[in-house]
Chain A
Amino acid sequence: DTEVTQTPKHLVMGMTNKKSLKCEQHMGHRAMYWYKQKAKKPPELMFVYSYEKLSINESVPSRFSPECPNSSLLNLHLHALQPEDSALYLCASSQSQGNYGYTFGSGTRLTVV
């Protein structure tokens, strides 16, 4: 298995909803990442987990809450989002934080209404 799987592929949520994005990989990678990408912009790093511990938080608002329950799973919990949070959310993994390339998931297209 050489993939990073993200679910759901599309999500529409209201500003008062609570939802979660899920990311899974079974490549034995120990670093996992959340990126946010707006249309025609490059991906922007949100969070990095290394060996299931949060190692980088790029000053992301608290309405985004990451969780890494085990070495294969990464979640992003969403609460009280704003319409400007609508974007493509990408999960990625790498063998370790310092080395090797990323494998990206196919992303979750989030629309906040």
Chain B
Amino acid sequence: GQNIDQPTEMTATEGAIVQINCTYQTSGFNGLFWYQQHAGEAPTFLSYNVLDGLEEKGRFSSFLSRSKGYSYLLLKELQMKDSASYLCAVRSDRGSTLGRLYFGRGTQLTVWP
């Protein structure tokens, strides 16, 4: 089976740094994605990791450790507009489920002024 775990809610203040963790246990692995989703809108792509290490893109960074089944999304210099749900998703590399994304439940981040 597939199990992807991330915290349900987090809060932080404007200008701060927040780290959203994701742990996964899946029967196949072909990359881990982070998406941002504002209420009532579609998910938008933030980052992709397939090899161990840190990927940095502006205020957002994502880290992956395949041996530990662990990833985190780091958001720096938080802004009010960063209040959203953050979805961790693992892509399968197996046969009939090839390419399928398995999503975690999402972490609702609230940024306070």
Contacts and interface: CB of A to CB of B under 8 A. Distances in A.
Contacts of A97: 98-99
B85 to A, nearest CB: 8
A94 B99 CA distance: 9
Given A104-B42, A104-B44, A56 B101 contact: no
Contacts of B104: 42
Contacts of A31: 99
B87 A42 contact: yes
A42 to B, nearest CB: 4
Nearest to B99: A97
A103 B100 CA distance: 13
B69 interface: no
A105 B99 contact: no
